[in-house]
Chain A
Amino acid sequence: MVLLKNLHPPTEGVRHEQAETTAVLDGQRLGCGTLYVAETRLSWFDSSGLGFSLEYPSIGLHAISRDVSAYPQEHLYVMVNGKLNKENEAEMAEKAADDDDDGSSDGGDDDEDEGAITEIRFVPSDKAALESMFSAMCECQALHPDPEDDDSDNDFEGEEYDVEEAEAEHGHADIPTFYTCDEGLSALTQEGQATLERLEGMLAESVAQQYHMAGVRTEETKAEFEDGMEVDTAAMEAGQFEDADVEHW
């Protein structure tokens, strides 16, 4: 059996709770229980209190699966780095009992090698809840960046993306922490904005060719200049090349 004892569900910071959810771990059906998407960790418990917890840094990927021909029910797919086995889970149980608030348990990392993964499927009886479960996990993942990133994160003020500000300004209810092409640059921090402007200044200095950002060719450019010449007409000023009869290449 893969289940643990003596763990209790989180009481604080629960972004989403989904009852009547079956957990399937590496193909083994663990039974029906409740999934807790909490800010500290992801956990699942059945009615007798048996369950398991996952630390977000160990979750490499999660997704909603809707293709019933590949798996018979719609579910939340979670890919965990490394293997969960009895030994590691015993460690996790001890640590969880001692340090309830400690979100940095490393149980399960000992046996991790690069290729080994654990697949978990959370199958809720209410399929309409899948989007909320997915979004809640995305939000909680963003709360647990890699510790190594802290050294290079000196430019950022705080860890959290300004969710409410971005939402209020741009009305993105479903993916508030992410920058999509619709969002404005004002969602960046002041330092981030300054850096972005500096980068764009550097890019604008580029003599031969001009781009929107970071050297990416836009689709418009591709369509217009199939001979390979990459000129961004939007950035050109007053047709600077029009009076030159020289062929550009």
Chain B
Amino acid sequence: MIVTPSLSELNMAASLTSTANVRLLSSFAWSSLLSGPIGSRSLHVTAVCCKNRAARIRVGKGEKPLTYEQAYHPHHIAHHKGWLSQHTSNLKGEDGAAERTIEDVFIRRFMFGTFHGCLADEIVIKRRGNLLIVCALMLQKLPPQKFYFLTGYSEVLLSHFYKCPVKLEIQTLQDKHVYKYI
């Protein structure tokens, strides 16, 4: 049965002088309002963890190597970092940003899988007109002829998939370049 406070009750509550009592009575009134029928659900809210976790590698014991890209957090983009994906669809009046992002995600996973274990750092994707340029930093784990095989394969497959010319620009390193240890 719903207990609704009548007007007379409220008046009675209002006539009391001490503020604490008023607060107590009003909170009682509110909770009875909120509780609704007997056995119903209420809103449970936990304490909020006000922390940002995006693209951040948490501090460890000092043995974790980080590249420059990993060491700087996303709020450092345009201050200490550049962009990993460069296209014009985020400018005013341009559309297609979502499609470009999906393409970028696919390309990153494709490159990660095709050149498995050879990527030294994140891939940079640049779009110039119709052309899609994928710039990758590789480790010298494979002999050069295997690199060329995989390069030719990826270029043709991605071109046929996205119906635009795709070029791969590869630079090789001996090891991953460590910026700091965390």
Q: Are A and B physically bound partners? A: no
User: A residues within 8 Å of B by Cβ?
Assistant: none
User: B residues within 8 Å of A by Cβ?
Assistant: none
